[in-house]
């Protein structure tokens, strides 16, 4: 009998994926986690070292900062769904190559999006924005603006790893702007 595709089933399939070279170097497939009925979907670039070790997205230093950003705006991490463009760690955390990006989004992210059907998508950083906007973009130019992707609200924000490299909190700094941005997201969720 036909079994309706669920996120769990999709995750189980993804765990055996060998569609690109990242399969050879990964420890774990980091499919994504969170509320399958989330209103808000947060998408990063790809797993780092801690994520690869644990199989969970955004649990390393950048993830801890993401937790603080969400907490500051009163958004519970458990209420959202968190995933990545590529599900396997690129060696030395390099940017995913175009064929890795294409294979992984075609096989997994597209389907995740269909199953979750979020109301708001927050792509973190330039790589995640590239998927939704279909071209390379400067995150500095597009962050903090409401856009639309296939009828879903899109609100690009800086990647927390970028904020770790730019820790100033002065007015107009990436961190300061991010605190403003996440409050805008929270407002849209209420």
Positions in the binding site for ligand URA (CB under 6 A) = 44-48, 51, 57-58, 60, 62-63, 84, 161
CA 56, CA 47: separation in Å to the nearest integer?
Answer: 8
Q: Which DSSP state fits 79?
A: G
**120 - beta bridge partners?**
40, 153
Q: Are 42 and 56 a contacting pair, CB within 8 Å?
A: no
| Residues forming beta bridges with residue 43, ordered by sequence position | 83, 123
In whole angstroms, give the CA distance from residue 128 to residue 122: 9
Cα first-last separation, the chain: 40
Give the nearer residue to ligand URA in terms of CB position, either 51 or 75: 51
Nearer to ligand URA, 161 or 185 (CB): 161
* Cβ closest to ligand URA, residue 34 vs residue 57: 57
Q: Between residues 5 and 15, which has the closer beta carbon with respect to ligand URA?
A: 15
Min dist CB 84 to ligand URA, Å, is 5
Q: Which residue's CB atom is positioned nearest to ligand URA?
A: 44
The CB-of-141 to ligand URA minimum distance in angstroms stands at: 20
């Amino acid at each position: 009998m036909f079994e309706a595709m669920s996120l769990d089933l999709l995750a189980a399939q993804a765990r055996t994926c060998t569609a690109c070279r990242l399969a050879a170097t990964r420890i774990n497939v980091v499919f994504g986690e969170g509320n399958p009925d989330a209103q808000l979907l947060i998408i990063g670039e790809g797993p780092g070292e801690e994520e690869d070790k644990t199989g969970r997205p955004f649990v390393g230093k950048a993830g801890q900062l993401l937790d603080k950003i969400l907490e500051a705006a009163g958004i519970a991490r458990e209420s959202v769904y968190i995933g990545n463009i590529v599900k396997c760690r690129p060696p030395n955390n390099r940017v995913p190559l175009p064929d890795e990006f294409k294979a992984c989004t075609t096989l997994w992210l597209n389907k995740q999006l269909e199953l979750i059907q979020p109301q708001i998508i927050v792509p973190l950083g330039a790589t995640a924005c590239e998927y939704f906007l279909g071209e390379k973009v400067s995150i500095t130019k597009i962050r903090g603006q409401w856009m639309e992707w296939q009828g879903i609200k899109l609100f690009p924000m800086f990647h927390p790893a970028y904020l770790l490299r730019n820790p100033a909190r002065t007015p107009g700094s990436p961190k300061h702007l991010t605190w403003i941005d996440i409050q805008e997201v929270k407002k849209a969720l209420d």
